[in-house]
Amino acid sequence: MSLIPVSEALERILDGVDAHHGEMLPLIDALERISADDIKALRTQPPFEASAMDGYAVCSSDFSEGADLPISLRLIGESAAGHPFDGKMSAGETVRIFTGAIVPECADAILIQENADAQGSEILTRELVAAGRYIRKRGLDFFEGETLIERGTKLRPRHLSLAAAMNHPEVNVVARPRVGILATGDELVPPGQEPGPGQIISSNNIGLQGFVERLGGTAIDLGIAADTNESLAASIEAGRNANLDILVTIGGASVGDHDLVLGALESGGMELGFWKIAMRPGKPLMYGRMGPMRVLGLPGNPVSAMVCAEIFLRPLIRTMLGLSTERVEETAVLEKDLPENDQRQDYLRARVTGSKDGLNIVTAFSRQDSSMLGNLARADCLILRPPFCPATKAGGQVKILHLDDT
């Protein structure tokens, strides 16, 4: 099977993928979820003219230009938040008012308390007040029926607060894609266990579960399958029974005698879409379909698995969430020379080390072995080099993808 380009692989993976259905959730449970609908205001805010300050509600007609101060007003009542003044106010009168309280009918300005002296039922003013001063007009924030949160918005705390103010007890959000993570290989043991001869700690499944959750999916741990057809078949069936949208397998998809994953998936009914791509790291990437479930077979090397997740699993999850898959390829400047590239598209682990003329300066790690998680953890970007890219000298420009960019 010939190697296919990265762009073609991604196009095949995303072909026919639609955004998930919506589900209604209480506001507090909708944090970091994606709005499935435009969210419209169910009320006007504020629903009445309200005072923006503590002071006295007054009629601006009592404050003619050039009038002598102080001006005497008769205090006839009080308006507090939640406890409005229920009388009538006329010129020459005032009502004690507090922030957020309803402005009495006929009043059109607020005299702040710092500029007034109270003497029993008489209020002496020490400033002239213009109409509209310190009054929040009805609908200052929003009116009933306005769309204030658009479909596709990731709901941050500020959005939840706004939705609550609009009188929504719950909102419609996109259902989270269910992503099963299956590690494979007799050499793997979970973190915390003592590895036997020839064994290592399983790390890819942990990183990928976090990757899925951070993107907004629900990660389901399917454990570690042994290198037997029986163990793999049982784990794949467990994935089916979990109603997964995506099954991610890790390792076992190459051509060795112990690489049984592809055969087990095909025996389980997977229709293979492609296998092996022109990419470094990540050549053994596999993709297929099991009915409605998408299957993404990642390489077993840790860096290969995580880089392939960045390039392929990320856009797949985002498409299911109804989000854009576009990703900015930023132009940066090389700090050190890079050699020419072969037929595979390279993703080099690198760090931003400075800036020059408005562009980031990047340095690729000298060692790019796909087993080295330490370098991946230290990296903050990937240098993207297309197939057959010529050697690039220090100071030359390259494209980079920032990591941890959701």
Domain boundary among 267, 302, 320: 320
Question: For residue 406, is pLDDT > 60?
Answer: no
Residue 156: give its domain's CATH number.
3.90.105.10
What value, to the nearest 5°, has the Cα angle with vertex 229 and ends 371 and 289? Answer: 75
Residue 58: give its domain's CATH number.
2.170.190.11
Asked if residue 306 and residue 228 are part of one domain, the reply reads yes
Question: Mean pLDDT of all residues in the chain?
Answer: 94
Question: For residue 405, is pLDDT > 90?
Answer: no
Separation CA 323–CA 318 (nearest Å): 5
Asked if residue 191 and residue 166 are part of one domain, the reply reads no
Asked if residue 148 and residue 196 are part of one domain, the reply reads no
Specify the pLDDT at position 252. Answer: 77
Domain boundary among 85, 110, 136: 136
Residue 223: give its domain's CATH number.
3.40.980.10
Whether residue 1 lies inside any domain: the answer is no
From 346, 386, 385, 379, select the one nearest 365 (Cα to Cα).
379
End-to-end CA distance of the chain: 33
pLDDT digit string, tens, across residues 354-404: 998 999 999 999 999 999 999 999 999 999 999 999 999 999 999 999 998
pTM over 0.85: yes
Handedness of CA 273, 21, 205, 238 (dihedral sign): negative
Whether residue 382 lies inside any domain: the answer is yes
Specify the pLDDT at position 236. Answer: 95
* % pLDDT > 70, the chain: 98
Residues 39, 46 contacting (CB under 8 angstroms): no
Asked if residue 294 and residue 189 are part of one domain, the reply reads yes
* % pLDDT > 90, the chain: 93
- Pairing state between β 246-250 and 178-184: parallel
Whether residue 325 lies inside any domain: the answer is no
Asked if residue 375 and residue 334 are part of one domain, the reply reads yes
| Rounded mean pLDDT, 112-136 | 94
Asked if residue 298 and residue 195 are part of one domain, the reply reads yes
From 305, 303, 286, select the one nearest 294 (Cα to Cα).
286
Whether residue 273 lies inside any domain: the answer is yes
Whether residue 299 lies inside any domain: the answer is yes
Specify the pLDDT at position 257. Answer: 54
Residue 379: CB partners within 8 Å, gap ≥ 6? 349, 350, 351, 365, 403
Specify the pLDDT at position 2. Answer: 79
Asked if residue 167 and residue 222 are part of one domain, the reply reads no
Number of domains in the chain: 4
Specify the pLDDT at position 256. Answer: 57
Specify the pLDDT at position 258. Answer: 54
Domain boundary among 110, 136, 162: 136
Q: Which domain holds residue 188?
A: 6-20+176-320
pLDDT digit string, tens, across residues 207-245: 999 999 999 999 999 999 999 999 999 999 999 999 999
151 pLDDT band, cuts 50/70/90, is very high
Asked if residue 97 and residue 214 are part of one domain, the reply reads no
Asked if residue 204 and residue 80 are part of one domain, the reply reads no
Question: For residue 254, is pLDDT > 90?
Answer: no
Asked if residue 231 and residue 211 are part of one domain, the reply reads yes
Asked if residue 266 and residue 206 are part of one domain, the reply reads yes
Whether residue 102 lies inside any domain: the answer is yes
pLDDT digit string, tens, across residues 303-360: 999 999 999 999 999 999 999 999 889 999 999 999 999 999 999 999 999 998 999 9
Whether residue 251 lies inside any domain: the answer is yes
Asked if residue 313 and residue 221 are part of one domain, the reply reads yes
68 pLDDT band, cuts 50/70/90, is confident
Whether residue 164 lies inside any domain: the answer is yes
User: Could you tell me the two tokens for 148?
Assistant: 């204030």
Separation CA 237–CA 234 (nearest Å): 5
